[in-house]
Amino acid sequence: MRKNVIAGNWKMNKTLSEAEDFIEATKTKIPSSDKAEAIVCAPALYLTELVKRTEGTDLKIAAQTMHYEENGAFTGEISPAALKSVGVEYAVIGHSERREYYNETDETVNKKTHAAFKYGITPIVCIGETLEEREADKTNEVVGGQVEKALEGLSADQVSNLILAYEPVWAIGTGKTATAQQANEVCAFIRNVVKEKVSAEAAEGVRIQYGGSVKPANVDELLSESDIDGALVGGASLEADSFLALVEAGSK
């Protein structure tokens, strides 16, 4: 059985003290469960401190992005080696905001995914269509193409261990959630792409989260769908109580 992944993506929110308060309020309340893992994707500046504070707990810390090179002249960037050196275990790769504002492409997403595995970091690879693409009936074409390119050159074993996050761009931060059925249809399609392009075992193992206006009020319905294995949550992950409610739902 696949374990749900409940990940709170704070994006560019919280000061250090707000981040510390959140972690102190949640880290001992994460149910130790074989049904879910709980992750906070924090601003890079706080990763070292938050990893230290969560040591020995069931709350894990992720980076929101990373570079694909080990080191070099890339001012302002953070390498997978640097993330690994401070104990970060997961990294979000190719979030639609990175694709839109920072020139992230399917090619860089693929390079970063390879680099994450090289350094023992679990990649959370984001994919999803825009409203325009959905309305033009291109959802499967767009999402299928993103998945195929993201996974290029990975072993079946690596694919089994990665996390894909299906986030329709039109549902992010808009309050418009895809219905559970709409979300599941695309997640099932993605799993089928993995089956065809990689292997049946990889398709069975890969976790596929849904993201886009997930909150405690709609998470149960989304998680009850067969091909949705968790949630990548922005706004509703910023408050400790709300994040804990989401994790609780994933652990049932």
Ligand X SMILES: O=C[C@H](O)COP(=O)(O)O
Hey, which residues are catalytic here?
95, 167
CA atoms of 228 and 91, how far apart (whole Å)? 20
Q: Which is nearer to ligand X, 5 or 198 (CB)?
A: 5
Burial group, residue 178, by CB count within 10 angstroms (0-12, 13-18, 19+)? buried
CA atoms of 93 and 133, how far apart (whole Å)? 21
Measured over all CA atoms, what is the biggest interatomic distance in the chain, rounded to whole angstroms?
48
Helical H segments across 152-238, by residue range: 156-161, 180-197, 200-205, 216-223
| Residues near ligand X (CB under 6 A), total | 14
Among 211, 219, 223, 228, contact with ligand X (rule: CB under 6 A)? 211
* Residue 10 assigned to a binding site: yes
Question: Going by C-beta distance under 8 Å and a sequence separation of 6 or more, which residues neighbour residue 178?
Answer: 168, 171, 186, 210, 212
Q: Which of residues 50-79 bind ligand X (CB under 6 A)?
A: none
CA 36 vs. chain centroid, Å, equals 14
Among 4, 5, 9, 67, contact with ligand X (rule: CB under 6 A)? 9
Q: Which of residues 91-120 bind ligand X (CB under 6 A)?
A: 95
Q: Considering the rule CB under 6 A, would residue 167 count as an interface residue with ligand X?
A: yes
* Residue 103 assigned to a binding site: no
Contact region with ligand X (CB under 6 A), list: 68-76, 114-122, 230-238, 242-250? 230-238
Q: Which is nearer to ligand X, 68 or 210 (CB)?
A: 210
Contact region with ligand X (CB under 6 A), list: 30-38, 44-52, 196-204, 233-241? 233-241
* Residue 72 assigned to a binding site: no
DSSP state of 206: -
The residues of the shown chain that bind ligand X, judged by CB under 6 A, are: 9, 95, 167, 172-173, 211-214, 232-236
User: From the annotation, which residues make up the binding site for substrate?
Assistant: 9-11, 173, 213, 234-235
